[in-house]
Amino acid sequence: MQLKVGVIGLGIGMRHLEEYAAVPEVEITAAADMNPERLKAASEKYRAKPYTSAEEMFKSEKLDAVSICTPPRSHLQLTQMAAERKVHVMCEKPMSTSVNDAKKMVDTCGKHRVKLMIGFKKRLAPAYAFLKKKCDEDLGRPVWALVKFALGRVDMDWFWDEQDGGGPITENTVHVIDLLRYFMGDVKRVHAEGGNYFMRHRSPQIDTGIFTLSFKEGGMAGVGAGYGSEWAFAKEEVSFTTAKAVCEVKGNFDQPGNLQYIYRSQPDKVYTENFAKPDGFKEEIAHFIDCVINDKKPLASGEDGVESVKICLAVKRSIRENKIITL
């Protein structure tokens, strides 16, 4: 079975194209972006038919699936356009900075019976995928987690705009918020400190935060995130502790390639796994196509996307209102 796939937005969308090109069941059909240079690069490298507007692309092409890789403000409208034409949607994170808009995306995809997968690549990144399986089968659910996920400078206007990217907490920290939900379940309480410390010209947008999450099933996580680093130092470090084991995932930012764990019953013996291509994009795109072809529910669903938006907004509210937020 061959699926005709389009990509809208050619920043990280180029990475989607690279991974679609590696899936035998995919025929890269079209790409849309108003940036002519990006469009030219995509059409030359991947033979995607170029469109300067997504609407034109949908009108002219009969697509089976699309990746929406534009800034969040446009995600709802583009998802509606796709779903109404029965095109399955892989949408980059965050779904939106509005819970209502994110819910509308779930509703429209449900109504038109198309898949909606959110770009939470960490669920499929090899180190976390390995560890999740290990936790489910053997180590148990983590009840203590500590995450360092501070990024370097990003200075695109949309990233900082409250109604678009919403700053680093909604645009970026959403990745680890989703990861924590994946391992530890739903969040009941958020307590955050933070503010505008380093990107003064983006004030009053929050650029940095440190927060705790408490989970409905028990357990707690601490997260240090936002613009707390610079790219040369930006690391991803996640510790998960269960009743039975202590686990550490480490790597450069967005490159979680090294996993180590020990059993508490045997604390001197360290188990190590290293993963060469650790970011999870390859697995994410392959999974989306598998879901479309074999009618499976995506591992990172629209409902997961909505929950993660709620938690990001609670972190920001906790900082701004200086109080603990109960979800």
Ligand X SMILES: NC(=O)c1ccc[n+]([C@@H]2O[C@H](COP(=O)([O-])OP(=O)(O)OC[C@H]3O[C@@H](n4cnc5c(N)ncnc54)[C@H](O)[C@@H]3O)[C@@H](O)[C@H]2O)c1
Sign of CA dihedral 243, 278, 133, 136: positive
Distance of alpha carbon 205 from alpha carbon 88, whole angstroms: 34
Q: Is 38 in the site for ligand X (CB under 6 A)?
A: yes
Distances (CA, A) of 161 to 34, 104, 156, 167, 207: 20, 21, 9, 7, 12
Q: Is 34 in the site for ligand X (CB under 6 A)?
A: yes
Q: Are 118 and 291 a contacting pair, CB within 8 Å?
A: no
Q: Which stretch binds ligand X (CB under 6 A): 2-10, 190-198, 199-207, 216-224?
A: 2-10
Compute the least distance from the CB of residue 270 to ligand X, in Å: 29
Binding string to ligand X for residues 135 to 164, with x set by CB under 6 A, is what?
---------------------x--------
Instruction: Give me the count of residues in the chain.
Output: 327
Q: Is 101 in the site for ligand X (CB under 6 A)?
A: no
Q: Which residues pair with 262 in a beta bridge?
A: 246
Q: Is 12 in the site for ligand X (CB under 6 A)?
A: yes
Q: Is 167 in the site for ligand X (CB under 6 A)?
A: no
Compute the least distance from the CB of residue 19 to ligand X, in Å: 11
Q: Is 16 in the site for ligand X (CB under 6 A)?
A: no
Distance of alpha carbon 139 from alpha carbon 271, whole angstroms: 13
Among the listed residues 18, 21, 71, 263, the single contact to ligand X using CB under 6 A? 71
Q: Is 93 in the site for ligand X (CB under 6 A)?
A: yes
Distance of alpha carbon 291 from alpha carbon 125, whole angstroms: 17
Binding to ligand X (CB under 6 A) within 182-241 occurs at none
Q: Is 324 in the site for ligand X (CB under 6 A)?
A: no
What backbone phi and psi angles, to 5 degrees, belong to 301? -90, 170
Burial class (CB in 10 A: 0-12, 13-18, 19+), 60: exposed
Compute the least distance from the CB of residue 172 to ligand X, in Å: 7
Q: Which stretch binds ligand X (CB under 6 A): 7-15, 16-24, 215-223, 289-297?
A: 7-15
Instruction: Compare residues 118 and 223 and give the one whose CB is closer to ligand X.
Output: 118
Strands (E) located in 206-252: 208-215, 220-226, 235-241, 245-252
Q: Is 54 in the site for ligand X (CB under 6 A)?
A: yes
Burial class (CB in 10 A: 0-12, 13-18, 19+), 99: middle
Q: Which stretch binds ligand X (CB under 6 A): 26-34, 58-66, 262-270, 290-298?
A: 26-34
Q: Is 69 in the site for ligand X (CB under 6 A)?
A: yes
Binding residues for ligand X, rule: CB under 6 A, are 8-12, 32-35, 38, 54, 69-72, 74, 92-93, 119, 121, 156, 171
